[in-house]
Amino acid sequence: MKSVRQHLWSVSIGALFALFVLASIAAGFEPGREMGRNFLTFLVQMLRVLPCVFVVIGLFEVWVKTETVEKHMGHGSGLRSYVWAVLLAGGTVGGLHVGLPIAHALYMKRARLGVVLAFVSSAGICRIPMTLFEASFLGWKFTAVRFGVSLPLVLLTSAAIGHWLERNHYELPDTKRAG
Amino acid sequence: MQTIYILTAVLLVLSLFASRTRTVQALRIALRRFMKIAPAFVVMLVFVAVALYLLPEQAMLRMLAPESRWAAVGTAVSVGSVSVMPGFIAFPLCGVLLERGALYMVLSAFSTTLMMVGVVTFPVERTYLGARLALIRNVTSILIALVVALATGLVFGELL
């Protein structure tokens, strides 16, 4: 029931926006036209990355054993699991919209919540190509401070939130984990 | 960008050699997951399109100029949270801001929230993490961004 309601909400927002843009084009309303153009620009950008992301997720789900992920990123995997999360995140591209589906896939393979959260936030702050870019515009000192302060904080808070939520039996939506 | 295509293609071919049925299964999973999240992505794109119209680069330049540094940090956090832009636009923009006299701590607040906090990506994040956790994560990220901004201010001598 809940998913239907959520769906309705998404569809109506999309439909309203489409109507608004079409009306703007017809009436020559420039802000509406520009929003339509923005929408298209970002849609194209998404469609260039997302299919790859989802194909890789599909392959990951089929080929990578749950036990492997559980061993390295699950309960009892120790601190090294967070190193894995950061390294994986460093290799991703795009930002939250790419990090989130991957995080979800990791969780389905029994990575623990804290590690999944650490992955999502690290995918924001320490993607390698982006960091190089940042340093070239703002200097290494800036990047070093940002990295040195944000990464430990992200790891600590992710671990704490994950621990706390799991103790309260929180589960991500749409995850029927086998066994 | 090209690396991603090549990497995906290589993985796909390897998988195909290993097992045809599993590869088909993987593609089915990919499609199913994609369709499931697509509505949330559409909502996110609508938000992005509107936010981008309301906050063009010129407006950002004006808003992040240092009148009062605390106001600028506050603005940087809000603007960074609601905008979505790829790094190859964001950092050159930060470079321009720096040349025009923006403080390092303001840029740090801006870039950190930009990367970690997603108001417009919230529909997508909610679908994956649940509304409660998505909210907790974003609020925590804003706090982290503030700490990072303070640290940057200290290191660059903008606080004292």
Q: Chain B contact for A133, CB < 8 A?
A: yes
Q: Is residue A58 part of a domain?
A: no
* pLDDT of B154 higher than 60: yes
Same-domain pairing of A12 and A72: no
DSSP B64: T
The pLDDT of residue A152 is 95
| Cα gap A51→A145, rounded to integer Å | 35
pTM higher than 0.90 for the full model? no
How many beta carbons lie within 10 A of that of residue A2, not counting itself? 7
Q: Is residue B114 part of a domain?
A: yes
Q: CA A56 → CA A28, B15, B126, distances in Å?
A: 42, 11, 22
pLDDT, mean of residues B134-158: 95
| Cα gap A166→A75, rounded to integer Å | 11
Same-domain pairing of A129 and A176: yes
C-alpha angle with apex B112: B38 to A117, nearest 5 degrees? 55
Q: Is residue A55 part of a domain?
A: no
Shortest Cα–Cα distance, B29 to chain A (Å): 5
Residue from B20, B112, B133 to probe the interface with A (highest A Cβ count within 10 Å): B133
Give A105 or A177, the one with higher predicted confidence.
Answer: A105
Q: Is residue B8 part of a domain?
A: no
Provide the residue range defining the domain that includes A173.
64-179
Return mean pLDDT, chain A. 87
Chain B CB contacts of A55 below 8 Å: 8, 11-12, 26-27, 30
Q: Is residue A103 part of a domain?
A: yes
Same-domain pairing of A68 and A97: yes
Provide the residue range defining the domain that includes B147.
38-155
Q: Is residue B29 part of a domain?
A: no
Angle subtended by helix axes B20-54 and B2-18, to nearest 10: 160
* pLDDT of B20 higher than 60: yes
Return mean pLDDT, chain B. 88
Structure-derived torsion over alpha carbons of residues A118, A123, A126, A132, reported in degrees to the nearest 10: 170
Same-domain pairing of A44 and A69: no
Residues B48/A42, Cβ–Cβ less than 8 Å: yes
The pLDDT of residue B44 is 87
| Of the partner residues B115, B128, B133, the one whose CB lies closest to the CB of residue A95 | B115
Chain B CB contacts of A14 below 8 Å: 39, 42-43, 46
**Quick one: closest CA in B to A35, which residue?**
B49
| Cα gap B149→B153, rounded to integer Å | 6
| Cα gap B98→B82, rounded to integer Å | 21
pLDDT, mean of residues B33-46: 88
Q: Is residue A54 part of a domain?
A: no
* pLDDT of A178 higher than 50: no
| Cα gap A135→A142, rounded to integer Å | 7
Same-domain pairing of A77 and A164: yes
Q: Is residue B82 part of a domain?
A: yes
Q: How many CA atoms lie within 13 A of A18 on its CB side?
A: 8
Q: Is residue B160 part of a domain?
A: no
Q: CA A4 → CA A1, A128, A174, B34, B36, distances in Å?
A: 5, 39, 13, 17, 12
The pLDDT of residue B68 is 80
The tokens for A135 are 């340093």
Q: How many domains does chain A have?
A: 2
The string of pLDDT tens digits covering residues A119-149 is: 999 988 878 778 888 888 899 999 999 999 9
pLDDT band at residue A1, thresholds of 50, 70 and 90?
very low
Q: Is residue A56 part of a domain?
A: no
Q: Is residue A59 part of a domain?
A: no
Chain B CB contacts of A138 below 8 Å: 91, 94-95, 98, 104, 107, 111
Give B83 or A83, the one with higher predicted confidence.
Answer: A83
Closest-CA residue to B43 (of A51, A100, A11): A11
Q: How many domains does chain B have?
A: 1
Closest-CA residue to B141 (of A89, A92, A161): A161
* pLDDT of B149 higher than 90: yes
* pLDDT of A179 higher than 60: no
Same-domain pairing of A31 and A111: no
Chain B CB contacts of A114 below 8 Å: none
Structure-derived torsion over alpha carbons of residues A153, A159, A165, A167, reported in degrees to the nearest 10: -140
**Residue B159 CB partners (closer than 8 Å, separation 6+):** B105, B150, B153
Q: Is residue B99 part of a domain?
A: yes
Q: Is residue B121 part of a domain?
A: yes
| Cα gap B74→A72, rounded to integer Å | 39
Same-domain pairing of A69 and A120: yes
Q: Is residue B20 part of a domain?
A: no
Q: Is residue A78 part of a domain?
A: yes
Terminal alpha carbon distance of chain B: 43
The tokens for B45 are 């794109």
The pLDDT of residue A22 is 93
